[in-house]
Amino acid sequence: MRFSKAFIPTQKEIPADATIPSHQLMLRAGLMRQLTAGVYVYLPLGYKAMLKAMEVVREEMNAIGGQEFHLPALNPESLWIQTGRRDVPNFILSIKERDLVLAPTHEEVIAWIASMHIQSYKDLPQIWYQIQTKFRNEPRPRSGVLRGRQFIMKDSYSLDASREGLDKSYDLHAEAYRNTFTRCGIRFFVVGASSGAMGGTGSQEFMVEAPHGEDTVALCTQCDYAANLEIASSALPKVTRNEGSSNVEEVHTPNVRTIDQLAEFLKVPRERLAKSVVYRHNGSPLLILMVGNDQLNESKLIAALGGGEVSPMSADDLKGLTGADGGSIGPVNLKGFKIIADKRLEGANGLISGANRNDYHLSNIDLQRDVTLDGYYDLRTIEPGEACPKCGAALKVSNAIELGHIFKLGTKYSEALNVTFLDEGGAGKPVIMGSYGIGIERIVACAIEQGHDANGIVWDKALAPYSVHVIAVNMNSKDVVLAANQVYRSLTEAGIEALFDDRGNVSPGFKFKDADLLGMPFQVIVGEKGLKNGQLEIKRRKTGERTMVAKDDVVSTVQSLLRE
C-alpha cells in the first residue's frame, strides 16, 4: 500500500475520555473512530489487524475440528423467551420490531439448529463456531474497543453425548485458546471463573494482566493457583468454636455504628463480630452474616442462591421491616428474613451481632443454638496477602482484561429448546453443551496494551497490519525514489505486506514519527547516504536496533527476520 493513496488518518489530539494506551493509540494511529458510545468504526489499518486476529482464531478453531457457521444477528424474540433470557440485563439492545432481538450471544440459535438436525449419538460430537457481531447494552461502555456495545466475537458451541465428551471438547478449546493467544504474541494466564448468567458448571477465563483491566483476579505468588475474584478463595481460618456457650446477653452500645467502633467499644477481636448484611433476593428479605470486616462478594452470593435478582436493602426498607437501622441488625429472633452465613462462621459461638434494636447488640450468640440458618457458603472477597488455598503462599490481587471465556454449559439450553439425541440404548437424552468466546477487538487492544512505547504501537508480526514500513526519506532524490519503488515492489512480489511511505510533501522527521506511531515490526529506510554504498537501513521497531543491508539483500533479510 502506498501511503500517498492510503486512508490512514493519524491524529495528535485525542479526547480526554481515552485514558488507556490501546484506546489512545487506536485513535492516534488511525485504526478506529468512535461513532457513538461503545460503537466503533474500524478504519482500514485497524480492520487489517482484526482480520489477522480472526484468521489466527479461525485456523486454531479448524485445527480442533470446529466448523464455521454464520448466524444472524437478528433473532426471533420467541427463542429467547423459551430459554428465559429475554430479560437478562445488558442482553437485548433495542427492539424496534417488537418480536426481534439483536443477539448478544448465540446459544439459542445453535440449540435451535441442533434441535432440528441432531438425532442420534452418531451425530455427536460437534464443534460449531462463527466469527460474528454481537450486541450488548453495556451500561458504561469505556476503555475503547475493550468494551463495545457492538463487537465481534468468535463464539463456539460444543455438542456432546456425555460429560466425558464435554470435558474433551472443553479441553480442546482450552488448547486452541492457548495456541491462538500465543500465536498473537500475547502474554496471558488462565483463571477459574464464575459461570454467571450463563448457567453451567465449569468455566475458565483467559486473562491479560493490565492496570486498567475491568476484571480482578487473585494469583498465587508461588504456585499456579489463579482465580477471578468472583470465585477466588483463601485459606483464612474459620472462627473457632469455644467450649460451652454462655447465655445470650443484651449489651448497650450507644452510637456504635461500624465493626471497628464495636470492636473498640467492647474490646473484642473483630473475628467475634458477626456483621449483618441485608439484601432482597427475588424480592424476599435476606440476611447474610459475615465475619468482622469481611467483604460480601455479590457473585458468590448469586451463585450460592442459585441465581435470581439480588439488591442491597435500602435503609428505609430495613427500618420498615425491623424498626432498627443497619448497624443494629442481627440474626437472633429476626422475623421474616432468610438467613445465610459465610463459611468462616460455620458452627461458631461466642459471637456478637445486632439486637434488632438501635444501640443494642447481643453477645454469646451460638449459631447452632440461637439461629435458624439456611446454610453456610463461601461468600467473602479475598484480600491480598491471604494464604493460597492450594499451597499456603501469599495471594496477590491484580487487574486484568478478559480475552476469552470457556464454559461447560451442560443441558440448560438443550432442555429449554428440546435438543435431544438417542443414545446407544435408544433412550432420548438432552445434548450436553459447551460455549466458548473470544473477543476479537480485545485481542487487538490487548496486543497494543502489551506492545507499545512512548512513540506508538509496537506490533507483533502476527497482528501487524503490514510487516514492513518502507520509508523513502527524500522524494526529491531520483535515486531514492527508484530504489524505494524497487524494494517496495520486490517485497510485495515476495508476498511480504508492505506499507510504502512515498509521500512527497512530508518531511523525513514526520515520516519517521509516523512509522514509529503505526508500529510495523520492521522499517526499511531508503536514504541518499546509504544508497551511495548501495545500502538500505533496516530498523526493528521493538528495539530500535538498526542495520545496513545491501540493496539486493533486503528481501531475504526481511524474510529471515519475519521467520524468527
Cα separation, 384 vs 220, whole angstroms: 10
Residue 380 binds to ligand ATP (criterion: CB under 6 A): no
Locus of grid cell 450486541: 135
Q: How far is the CB of 177 from ligand ATP (least distance, A)?
A: 10
Which of residues 147 and 272 has its CB atom nearest to ligand ATP in the complex? 147
Which of residues 38 and 285 has its CB atom nearest to ligand ATP in the complex? 38
Cα separation, 422 vs 195, whole angstroms: 28
381 phi and psi angles, rounded to 5 deg: -90, 130
Q: Of 77, 123, 138, 497, which lies in the binding site for ligand ATP, with binding defined by CB under 6 A?
A: 138
Q: How far is the CB of 411 from ligand ATP (least distance, A)?
A: 19
Residue 442 binds to ligand ATP (criterion: CB under 6 A): yes
Cα separation, 288 vs 228, whole angstroms: 22
CA 62 to chain centre: 23
Any idea of the CA torsion for 197, 178, 187, 450, to the nearest 10 degrees?
-70
User: Which segment (80-88, 360-368, 432-440, 547-555) binds ligand ATP by CB under 6 A?
Assistant: 432-440
Which of residues 153 and 345 has its CB atom nearest to ligand ATP in the complex? 153
Could you tell me where the DSSP H helices lie in 130-280?
A: 163-183, 259-266
Q: How many residues bind ligand ATP (CB under 6 A)?
A: 16
Which of residues 124 and 444 has its CB atom nearest to ligand ATP in the complex? 444
Which of residues 110 and 153 has its CB atom nearest to ligand ATP in the complex? 153
Residue 433 binds to ligand ATP (criterion: CB under 6 A): no
Pairing of strands 338-342, 360-365: unpaired
- The residue type of 147 is R
Q: Of 23, 85, 147, 452, which lies in the binding site for ligand ATP, with binding defined by CB under 6 A?
A: 147
Cα separation, 358 vs 361, whole angstroms: 8
Which of residues 148 and 519 has its CB atom nearest to ligand ATP in the complex? 148
Residue 404 binds to ligand ATP (criterion: CB under 6 A): yes
323 DSSP 8-state letter: S
Residue 153 binds to ligand ATP (criterion: CB under 6 A): yes
Record the cell numbers describing residue 77, joined without a space: 424474540
Positions in 86-125 near ligand ATP (CB under 6 A): 105
Which of residues 326 and 439 has its CB atom nearest to ligand ATP in the complex? 439
Q: How far is the CB of 497 from ligand ATP (least distance, A)?
A: 26
127 Cβ contact list (under 8 Å, min separation 6)? 61, 64, 65, 66, 67, 156, 157, 158, 159, 169, 172, 173
Residue 403 binds to ligand ATP (criterion: CB under 6 A): yes
81 Cβ contact list (under 8 Å, min separation 6)? none
- The residue type of 121 is Y
Which of residues 198 and 471 has its CB atom nearest to ligand ATP in the complex? 198
Residue 151 binds to ligand ATP (criterion: CB under 6 A): yes
Q: Which residues bind ligand ATP (CB under 6 A)?
A: 105, 136, 138, 147-148, 151, 153, 402-405, 437-439, 441-442
